[in-house]
Amino acid sequence: MVVTRRHRVRLLAPLLVLFGLVFAAMDAVVGGQTVGAHARLSDTVPAVDSVVEVPPREVELTFDEPVRPVPQGIRILSPDGRDVASGEATRSADGRSLTVPVDPAGARGSFTVSYRVVSTDGHVVAGSWVFSVGERTATAASADERADPWSRGVEVLGRMLASAGAFLALGTVVVAGLDDTAPLGSSLVRRRAVLVAGTVTLSVGGLLVLVGAAGLYAGSLAGASGALLDVVGATSTGWVVLARVAVAVVLLVCSLVPAVLRRMPVVVAVLAVAATAAPALGGHAVSSSVPVLASTLVAVHLVTGACWLGALAVLSLRWAEDRELLGGYSDVAVVAAPLVVVSGLGGAWIQVGGAGDLLGSTYTRLLLAKALLAAVLLVLGWMNRRALARAAGTALDLASSVRLETVLGVAVLAVSAVLVVTPPPADVPDPVRAEAASGELVARVLVEPGVAGPNRVELRYVDAAGRPVSVDATDLRISRAGVEPRRVEVRAVDPSTAVATDVVLTPGPWRFEVTVVARGTPSRFELEVMVR
């Protein structure tokens, strides 16, 4: 039986379903255990903002999921800026706690602990906190642990190039499969230049991702070369990208030899699929609550995206030679585009779920931008399909429309590259509320999100009937067991409301002491706030 272009298109849907099942089985073996969404500092010893009389001999950091320390990634700066960490961090059996030995050398005042660790999804997580010995000094030594922008830029550029290259390679295989004038191998040889360009772009992009990730690991792009081996050995990003580059190099070698393309086109197709789907084995998906399902959805999203946008890019680049294949491609897009949308929505729901409104975080805003671009692509594709159905004489310039779709596809890849390195929002729990009365005045406290880390504290004053009461001044002091009371700066947002931001709290009960002056009369409140 002769396998025509129409038969090949009809085989696409079941093949994609089979691919998803195989990938899910493989990921179940490789993927490991279920973990939380993202690494977040949940507790410390000494406690955040605490004042201790005896200098600690070690500092302990506890996270809400297993982490790996970056070499020299944890610094303990004395009040004069010296690093008093006296050794490397040791990791607890469950991987959630890191202990660092300290030699404070008799220094007193505020110490700054800065950390850089690798979370389960392979991303570097950084931050800092303060404790004091004997007394608080005016300022703690600064420790800037923000992500190096140059390293981040190189990583994002690399991810964009790698995705574009993988899409172009697999798209070439799809277009070659639509050409029923020759066997698949010979069709690939005709399009060898595009296949080579895709594999080279994929290889270069993968290497740039490794360099950028190594720069983030080391703290600067200048230190990337010395951290490459550590990144590959210690992070999922490293080994997944290295494996992807290795597949790309093999695919490039095959692409450079016409005889290999003619004799082993199926091997070339499998390599192109593997290079496209590889990122699903690392990143946000593996650190979700359902890693096997999330990784499978990402893999299907990437492969179907390449069948849709990658093949479109090949048609755009080879319009003069391949425009007659647009009808067959349209049939492929009808199958692939809905699968891209469904798998993308499923993956987004797993990552975001109940984590807030669409505009509440950078991650969700990027997701929305990607969805809007995809919607425009779907509309253009529908217009093109209608134009093909009406045959000749249509007013729509198909060549220009296909090129516009390709440009929008590149924009989608660019947004996706930034999305991959942007942390998804954590689930937003209900804020913690407490209230206390002093005579006719009632103080209501709202702490959000009410979990370990930075919190927003809102103080609102009402009378017994719940009507707002104007106050002249507010003083807020917070403490807990082992943490002496400290004053928190608040600002008035209206006569009956005051707010404090970035109040770092650790899990457990905190005592809030609020003193207010209303109409010249002071009132004092004590409230207990339980931080999760």
Question: What DSSP line would sit under 474-508, residue for residue?
Answer: EEEEEEETTEEEEEE--EEEETTEEEEEEEEE-SE
Q: What pLDDT does residue 197 have?
A: 94
Angle, CA 304 vertex, CA 301 and CA 305 arms, to 5°: 75
CATH of 432-531, one of 2.60.120.10, 3.60.21.10, 2.60.40.1930, 3.40.50.1000: 2.60.40.1930
Structure tokens at 454: 């930075």
Going edge to edge, which strands form the sheet with 41-45? 41-45, 58-63, 97-101, 90-91
pLDDT score at 327: 80
Per-residue pLDDT of the chain (532 residues; tens, 9 = 90+): 334 544 444 444 444 444 444 444 444 444 333 333 457 777 788 887 778 888 889 999 888 788 888 877 788 888 887 888 888 888 888 888 899 999 887 788 888 888 888 877 677 777 777 888 887 775 544 445 556 778 888 888 888 899 899 999 999 999 998 888 888 889 999 999 999 999 999 999 999 988 888 887 777 787 777 777 777 776 677 788 888 999 999 999 999 999 989 999 889 999 999 999 888 887 766 666 677 888 888 888 889 888 888 888 888 888 888 888 888 888 888 888 888 888 877 877 777 765 455 555 666 676 677 777 777 767 776 776 666 656 544 434 666 777 777 777 777 777 776 766 666 665 556 788 888 888 888 889 988 878 777 788 898 998 888 888 888 888 888 887 766 677 888 888 888 888 988 777 777 888 899 888 887 788 888 888 888 7
The per-residue pLDDT for 170 is 92
**What is the predicted pLDDT for the residue at 474?**
87
Task: Spell out the domain ranges in the chain.
Answer: 5-30+149-420, 41-133, 432-531
Closest CA to 235 of 213, 218, 250: 213
Tokens of 211: 């360099």
pLDDT reported for residue 315 = 87
Q: What is the pLDDT of residue 225?
A: 78
* Torsion sign (Cα): 154, 157, 162, 163: positive
Helices (H), 219-356: 224-234, 236-256, 258-263, 265-277, 291-305, 311-317, 319-322, 326-352
- 41-133 domain in CATH 3.40.50.2300? no
pLDDT score recorded for residue 34: 36
Backbone angles phi, psi at 518, to 5 degrees: -125, 120
Task: Tell me if 41-133 shares its fold with 432-531.
Answer: yes
Ramachandran assignment for 134, one of left (phi > 0), alpha (psi -120 to 50 degrees), beta (any other) = left
Residues 6+ apart with CB under 8 A from 458: 445, 446, 447, 448, 497, 498, 499
Reduce the secondary structure of 339-370 to three states and give it as a string: HHHHHHHHHHHHHHCCCCCCCCCHHHHHHHHH
CA–CA distance, 201 with 255 (Å, rounded to integer): 13
